[in-house]
Structure 1
Amino acid sequence: MKFSVFAITFAFTCFVSLSQATEVRQCQGGAKKLESTEVLISNCEKPPCKLRRKTEVSIEEKFTPDRDLKTLTTTVHAEILGIPLPFIGVDNTSACDNLFEEDGTTKAACPLQAGKNYVYKNSFKVLEIYPKTSLVVHWALTSDNKDVTCFEVP
């Protein structure tokens, strides 16, 4: 019985920690702020987010495009001395395979409709080759080389 109570409490705690929105900032000069945008980063509610090497980080973003989109691309990098360092395996990849309907469970795909709510889900490995330093991560969903959504998190 004690194990059951512990398991339920643990599962609830994990669910609550995963469902808390992460405080992020809009990219400067990037996409306009969309009121429906909400970002969740695993194990990070408030910056700075500590990304530990040899771990996997999950991203979930709720957004509503303001125009019809044929394609959507994930753009992710951190800047070191003014030089963008792309996140290997995530940067410049199609976001179309990572899209869900507003419920977060029903798969969606490109093209996207203006005014419709979507959920983008992705994860990435924090590789050992990434430097041990504080950085700002720039994460954008783009279409035709223009930001659809864009946020930054230290």
Structure 2
Amino acid sequence: MQITFFVFVTLTTVCYATKVLQCPGGNIANLQNNVQIGECDSPPCKLKKNSHVPLTVKFVAEDEYKDLKLVVTADVAGVVLPFVGVDGSSPCEYIFEEDETTKVNNCRIEKGKTYVYKNPIEILQIYPRIKTIVHWSIIDASSANRKIVTCFEVPAAITN
């Protein structure tokens, strides 16, 4: 009985992920199993105004990085707008080693290692009530072409 319960809990934990889309031109391995947005498992994800929605993203670094920035936008009637307070900020204080408890030291990301970004997203009261596509990525701001470290898109609905 205890083994059955353990297997069920393990499978539930492993399988619980939000169905997200690859960013245009993206090809991030196993993306579908590595993003969790609150309790959303199937888009559109409901993002309630004046709340914090937990976000967890697991990724494997394809290179070494040290100057990371978030690029978080929403497509509003064909116009790409930044998520105020999130877009352009540093993700470094929210990046952990694979164990999800050890914070990354000085934002040094090593090639081939697995990392976990964990941070509740603040959904501001000023955001309009709309359905949108949210683009969320971590980029290497030090590279000339702002190389994407990890990226996903997800249909979302900002609600009251």
TM-score between both structures, scaled by the size of structure 1: 0.82
Which runs of 5 or more residues in structure 2 are unaligned?
1-8, 156-160
**Matching residue of 1:122:** 119
Identical counterparts, % of pairs? 44
Q: How does 1:128-147 map to 2 (within 5 A)?
A: 128-143=125-140, 144=143, 145-147=146-148
Correspondence 1:27 to 2:23? yes
Which runs of 5 or more residues in structure 1 are unaligned?
1-12
Alpha-carbon shift at residue 41 of structure 1 (Å)? 0.7
Counterpart-to-counterpart distance in 1, 2:95 and 2:108 = 11
**Matching residue of 2:154:** 153
Deviation track 1:112-154 (CA, whole Å, cap 9, x = no partner) reads 1000010011222211211111101000010031211110010
Counterpart-to-counterpart distance in 1, 2:116 and 2:122 = 20
**Matching residue of 2:6:** none
Deviation track 1:16-61 (CA, whole Å, cap 9, x = no partner) reads 68x821110110124x313376001112111110111111111110
Q: Which amino acid aligns with 1:100?
A: F
Counterpart-to-counterpart distance in 1, 2:41 and 2:17 = 6
Select the residue among 91, 95, 99 that pairs with 2:91. Answer: 95
**Matching residue of 2:3:** none
**Matching residue of 2:57:** 61
Instruction: Name whichever structure is richer in strand by fraction.
Output: 2
Moved over 4 A (4+): none
Return 62-71 or 81-90, whichever deviates more. Answer: 81-90
